[in-house]
Structures are given as structure tokens and as C-alpha cells.
Amino acid sequence: MNESEKLSHELQDIKQIMERSSRFISLSGLSGISAGACALIGAWFANKAIHEQHYLISELRQSSLHINTVINGDVLQNRLLQIGIITFIAAFISAFFFTYQRSKKSNVPVWGTTARRLMINVCIPMVVGGIFLYAMMQNGIYDFVASGCLIFYGLGVVNASKYTLHETRYLGYAEICLGLLSAFFIGDGIYFWAAGFGVLHIVYGIFMWIKYERS
Amino acid sequence: MKNPIENLNKTFDSRIRLGIMSALMVNTSINFNDLKQLINVTDGNLASHIKALEESGYIKVQKGFIGRKTNTLYAVTKAGEKAFQTHLDALGKMIKNIK
């Protein structure tokens, strides 16, 4: 084996160990900021929809057309669900974009073993929570949607923090606490939701960006 | 003429030490057993190389417990990070020159 081959081999070993052992460290702080921004925009639309609904109901009361309120109630739930899904997709895509950028820069595959591990571990509590909340909504229980979203998401983040930058753990704890608190303030769910998915993500994102990416 | 290997760090002149540093560079911290499994060496061998790296100030050791079992965590220091990066750059340059 000549000198060049030996050195190449050495470098390859290094790379391999790094990949095998690593957490998914390409998670970008900008992803947190953008996801948080999406959540705030989504919450704004949701809040608007809720207020419009209240306005509509009071109008209907005045004109004593009570029959329609039930139907409109369903319309609101559907609208909120739509807003929620669109917000989630937008947040996911924007978060993916910045993390993809960072992973390209640091030459780590965005869909490597560590990324897969990370995703699976985030998803387990989140999918469970999603199905559970959906089942509750099917039974007309909407009171714990915001709180449930926050709690299950927080559990997902804490669970996955072992496989990425360890600071994510604190984001998870914060989401769980907020979710639990929110369960005691039913009716104000939208504000907790905005604080948890919007503000916390942005604060976390800025912190991570300053710590790891600002150069 | 410039000596092509002057930037290679003698402390990293072993496959095991390279392995330890590589793993620690990309992890917040790793415990002894994981490190052993990753690099595939015996306890004694790993321990002696860890000691050498620790004495150079390139890695730091944090002893802890999980229940009653000892759980010793290793992490790279700022100095270690810098030294290893320099070493890697030197390796890369040498390969380029030989080709």
C-alpha cells in the first residue's frame, strides 16, 4: 500500500466514525425561526376565524336564527383544522429548507441514518397524539386540542433530543410545560398554541443560530 | 522546502486516537462503552489512548453514575477541536500533493 492510499484510508476511517457516531447536527436554528413564524401566521388566521365566528353567532342571536349556529360551529372546526394542516405543512417545508441548506454546507446527508433516527423519534409521540386528538374531535371534544398538540409535540422533541443537538431537549420541556398549563385555561388555547409553536420556536431558533451558525 | 508533514500532529498518530477524536468531534459526549464499540478495541487499549489524549488537553473526562454503574463521559475540548481540524487539513493537503 503506498503512502497516498494509506492516508486516504485514514481519512475514510475518520469520516465513517463521524457519520456512524453522530447525532443529526445539521438542524438549523433558522428552521426553528421559520417554523415559529409560520405558526404565528397560522395562529393569527385561526384567531381571526374564531372572532369572525363569534361575531356571526352574536349576529344570529340578534336575528334569532339559532338553527344555523350549529352548522356554523362545524364550519369553524373545519376551518381551524384546515389552517392547522396548512400551517404544519408550511412550517415543515420551511424548516426542512434551512436544515437542508445547512446539511449541504457541512457535507452531511440530510437523509442519513441520524436524520432517520431523529425523525422516527419525533414522530412516535406526535403521531400517537395526532390520532388521539383526532379521535377526541370526532367526539366533539375540542377543549384540549391546543394543549394536546403542545404536550405531544414536546414529548416528541424531548424523545428525539438524544439524536440531535442536545439543546432541543429544553425546547421540548418548555412545550410540555406550556401544554400542561394550557389544559387549565381552556378557551385560551389559541394563545398558548401561538406561544408554544410560534414564540418558543423563534426564541429557540435564535439561540441556536447564535450559538452554532453565526460565523 | 517546507516539510510536508510538519502540520501532522504526532498525538493523533494512531488509528485508535483518530477514531476517538473523530467520534468526539461530532458528538456532544460519548461514554466509554459506546466509544469502545465504535472503534472496536479492548478496554485497556482504549483507556491508554484516552489517557494520552486527556494529558494533551484534547479531551475532557466527566465521571458520573447511572444508578450504581459508573458512566464516564468523554468530550472534545476547544483545543482538541482545533488541533484535530489542523491535523485533518494537513492530511487532506498531503493526499492532494501525492496525487
Could you tell me the residue ranges of all domains in chain B?
10-98
A132 grid coordinates: 388521539
User: Does the pLDDT at position A173 exceed 60?
Assistant: yes
Average pLDDT, stretch B36-47? 87
Average pLDDT, stretch B47-53? 94
Mutate to test the interface with B, among A14, A23, A103, A108 (most CBs of B within 10 A): A14
User: Does the pLDDT at position A214 exceed 60?
Assistant: yes
DSSP letter string, A137-148: HHTT--TTHHHH
Range in A29-33, B28-32, B58-62 with the lowest mean pLDDT? B28-32
Asked if B38 is an interface residue toward chain A (Cβ–Cβ < 8 A), one would say: yes
Single pTM value for the model? 0.65
The pLDDT score that the predictor gives to residue A98 is: 94
Average pLDDT, stretch A93-118? 82
* Fold (topology level) of B10-98: Arc Repressor Mutant, subunit A (1.10.10)
**CA-CA distances (angstroms) from residue A71 to A68, A103, A136, A190, B91?**
5, 48, 19, 22, 71
Asked if A13 is an interface residue toward chain B (Cβ–Cβ < 8 A), one would say: yes
Chain A neighbors of B38, CB-CB under 8 A: 17, 20-21
Report the C-alpha gap between A212 and A26 in whole angstroms.
Answer: 10
Report the C-alpha gap between A76 and A84 in whole angstroms.
Answer: 12
Q: Mean pLDDT over all residues of chain B?
A: 86
The pLDDT score that the predictor gives to residue A9 is: 83
A26 grid coordinates: 445539521
Average pLDDT, stretch A46-50? 90
A10/B19 touch (CB, cutoff 8 Å), yes or no: no
Pick from A18-22, A161-165, B81-85 the range whose average pLDDT is largest: B81-85
Report the C-alpha gap between B18 and A17 in whole angstroms.
Answer: 9
B56 grid coordinates: 494533551
In percent, the amount of chain A with pLDDT more than 90 equals: 53
Total CB pairs under 8 A between chain A and B:
51
DSSP letter string, A15-56: HHHHHHH--BTT--HHHHHHHHHHHHHHHHHHHHHHHHHHHH
Q: Is A36 exposed, middle or buried (0-12, 13-18, 19+ CB in 10 A)?
A: buried
Average pLDDT, stretch A185-211? 94
Chain B neighbors of A25, CB-CB under 8 A: 26
**CA-CA distances (angstroms) from residue B11 to B53, B66, B87, B92?**
7, 32, 10, 17
The pLDDT score that the predictor gives to residue B59 is: 94
The pLDDT score that the predictor gives to residue B1 is: 47
> Residue A30's pLDDT band (boundaries 50, 70, 90)?
very high
User: Does the pLDDT at position A66 exceed 70?
Assistant: no
B53-68: pLDDT as tens digits: 999 999 999 888 888 8
Asked if B66 is an interface residue toward chain A (Cβ–Cβ < 8 A), one would say: no
Asked if B34 is an interface residue toward chain A (Cβ–Cβ < 8 A), one would say: yes
Report the C-alpha gap between A60 and A67 in whole angstroms.
Answer: 9
Helices (H), B1-99: 15-25, 32-39, 43-55, 78-98
User: Does the pLDDT at position A213 exceed 50?
Assistant: yes
User: Does the pLDDT at position A201 exceed 80?
Assistant: yes
The pLDDT score that the predictor gives to residue A108 is: 64
Angle made by CA atoms A144, A147, A150, in degrees to the nearest 5: 145
